[in-house]
A = this chain, B = another copy of it.
Amino acid sequence: MTARPLTGKDFAARIRAQVADAAAAKRAEGRPARLVIVTATDDEASAWYVRSIASAAGKAGLDCDVADLGTTATAAGIADRLAALSADPAVDGVMLQTPLPPGVALAEVSGAIDPAKDVDGANPLSLGRLAAGLPAYAPATASAVVALLDEYAVDLAGARAVVVGRSVVVGKPLAHLLLDRDATVTVCHSRTRDLAAVTSTADVLVAAVGRTHLIEPEHVRPGAVVVDVGTNPTSDGGLAGDVDPAVADVAAALTPVPGGVGPVTTALLLKNVVD
């Protein structure tokens, strides 16, 4: 078998086109849509990601500012800025980029982002509202996984979904999104015993751990749909997923890295700003 590639580029382009239409309408009303990304790091991968969002925002006709607070920013300083941006009527979306300075926890400061502007679902209240079935933004990566599965008409109701990774930015919110779609959801992690025994029960397997090629063919049930959230830097400057490409011989469908979940994530982030 060679897995069907669940590419995200064309899908993301269509989302971005919708975003551009909405952004143009707002601009015509004299009220351009504005995203502000708060950073406090000199991490190069982070800077690359922020530039890619800013570039995509610009192409879609959104205003996008980067507020760099520097690597010496304190938790109080970051929270204050997030609160001020949340209160600013000219700002539609506020995103806090990680990593943060040592000693500053994302969950501690992201509570200062107004849930109505929390376009990347970083505030614990957004996650709690999501879990409680209330309107809320999910982290864009988690939303992108479900949107991509929908795009390719993967049936989630009653499906066995296994998420590898329990991070608060992907694994946990994704579990709630999948539960909300009536999947039976299992969350695995570094302490899971016999990972292959668990992952091979999955109709839909999502890898979101950040370990290059952790998921090998033996982890995958033949015919499963596999979503690769990993974006691990390679020595030659490229990106490798959490899923071994050899899984394509076993799975029915597989998202590529790059070009799978990633572009959809950025597009949905922008969509949240104009929504």
A interface residues with partner B (beta carbon < 8 Å): 107-108, 123-129, 131-134, 157-158, 160, 166, 168, 172, 175-176, 179, 182, 184-189, 191-193, 198, 201
**What would be 27 A-B contacts, judged by CB atoms less than 8 Å apart?**
A107-B129, A107-B132, A124-B125, A124-B128, A124-B131, A124-B132, A124-B134, A125-B125, A126-B128, A127-B127, A127-B131, A128-B131, A131-B168, A132-B168, A133-B168, A157-B191, A158-B191, A158-B192, A160-B193, A166-B179, A175-B175, A179-B187, A184-B187, A184-B189, A184-B191, A185-B187, A186-B186
Closest beta carbon of chain B to A222's beta carbon, Å: 18
- Cα A175 to Cα B134 in complex, Å, equals 19
Nearest B residue to A180, CB-CB:
B166
Q: Are A134 and B157 in contact, with the CB atoms below 8 A?
A: no
Return chain B residues, CB-CB under 8 Å to A129. Answer: 107, 124, 128
Q: Which residues of B contact A131 (CB under 8 A)?
A: 124, 127-128, 131, 168, 172
Contact of A179 among B108, B189, B198, B201 (CB under 8 A): B189
Given contacts A107-B129, A184-B189, could you give 16 more A-B pairs where the C-beta distance is less than 8 Å? A124-B125, A124-B128, A125-B125, A125-B128, A127-B127, A131-B131, A132-B168, A133-B168, A158-B193, A160-B198, A175-B187, A179-B189, A184-B186, A184-B188, A185-B187, A201-B201
Please determine whether B160 and A133 come into contact, CB atoms closer than 8 angstroms. Answer: no
Given A131-B127, A133-B168, A158-B192, the answer on whether A185 and B186 have CB atoms closer than 8 Å is yes
Q: In the complex, are the beta carbons of B166 and A172 less than 8 A apart?
A: no
Complex contacts, A132 vs chain B, CB 8 Å: 107, 124, 127, 168
Set of chain B residues within 8 Å of A179, measured between Cβ atoms: 166, 172, 187, 189
List of B residues within 8 angstroms of A187 by Cβ: 175, 179, 184-186
Q: Which residue of B lies closest to A166 (CB)?
A: B179
Chain B residues near A128 (CB, 8 Å)? Answer: 123-129, 131
The smallest beta-carbon distance between A254 and chain B, in angstroms, is 23
**B contact residues around A186 at 8 Å (CB):** 184-187
How far apart are A144's CB and chain B's nearest CB, in angstroms? 19
Residues of B within 8 A of A176 (CB): 172
Say how far A259's CB is from chain B's closest CB, in angstroms.
30
Residue of B nearest to A198 (CB): B184
Cα-based distance from A201 to B184 in the complex (angstroms) = 13
